[in-house]
Amino acid sequence: MLRLENVHAYYGLSHILHGVSLEVGDREIVSLLGRNGAGKTTTLLAIMGFLEPGPGTITYRDRRIGGLAPYRISRMGVGFVPQERGIFGNLTVEENLTVAARRGSNGAWTLKRIYELFPRLRERAAFRGSKLSGGEQQMLSIARALLLNPDLIILDEPSEGLAPLIVQEILDILLNVRAEGVAVLIVEQNLRAALRIADRHYVLSKGKVCFSGTSEQLNADETILKQHLGV
């Protein structure tokens, strides 16, 4: 579904990604791990088209998407849940959900279904986005991405700063979403969360992939766990 081949990326003059290759298949949950500054967020921003395209190719459903504007990439069926959640503070919860909603390939997600899945959001439908708690904002950001009816959802550290119980709830929702046929690419600092939901993992270090494999393989690789994940 999504494939990166030897992707390089730059912030101004600094060279952040040094040839990242990774792949997300249909209905797969893939995690992107690594220490701060390893290039995880940069990888997501490169996929979403927020960075000037560098060397390497990014393809989504066999179409090259490097150089396309972010909104075009999103409209091809990619749901984005940014770091810091990106809630529009001046929009109500309901406006946040509907402002960009689209039918996608099958229109499976509707506002009604979202409210069934996230009853908290229905209770707060008329609140401004800025009035929500951190956990509610994260739910809203994920719900908003689902209403784009994506085939792939990309999340940047959804568990950051949230209580363990809410993290659980979010992970359950992502498993649920995958069961509906949506692929997931998730950047995580929380190794346990990643091991719980992802089928495969990539570990980044200094802008390169230094490990890729299943949860079992990752659990067995003492060096990677110690050196790059601080376990």
Residue among 16 and 191 whose Cβ is closer to another protein: 16
Region 71-100 residues binding another protein, contact defined as CB under 8 A = 71, 74-75, 79-80, 82, 86, 88-91, 95-96, 98-100
* Distance, CA of 89 to chain centre: 21
Residue among 54 and 70 whose Cβ is closer to another protein: 70
Q: Tell me the angle at which helices 164-179 and 134-146 cross, rounded to the nearest 10 degrees.
A: 10
Q: What is the dihedral of CA 77, 104, 194, 51, to 10 degrees?
A: 30
Smallest gap from Cβ 53 to another protein, in A, equals 14
Lookup: tokens for 149: 């009816």
Smallest gap from Cβ 143 to another protein, in A, equals 12
Helix (H) or strand (E) holding 184: strand 183-187
Region 177-216 residues binding another protein, contact defined as CB under 8 A = none
Smallest gap from Cβ 46 to another protein, in A, equals 13
Pick from 123, 190, 189, 112: nearest CA to 146: 112
Interface with another protein: number of residues (CB under 8 A): 24
Q: Which residues bind another protein (CB under 8 A)?
A: 48, 50, 69-71, 74-75, 79-80, 82, 86, 88-91, 95-96, 98-100, 102, 144-145, 148
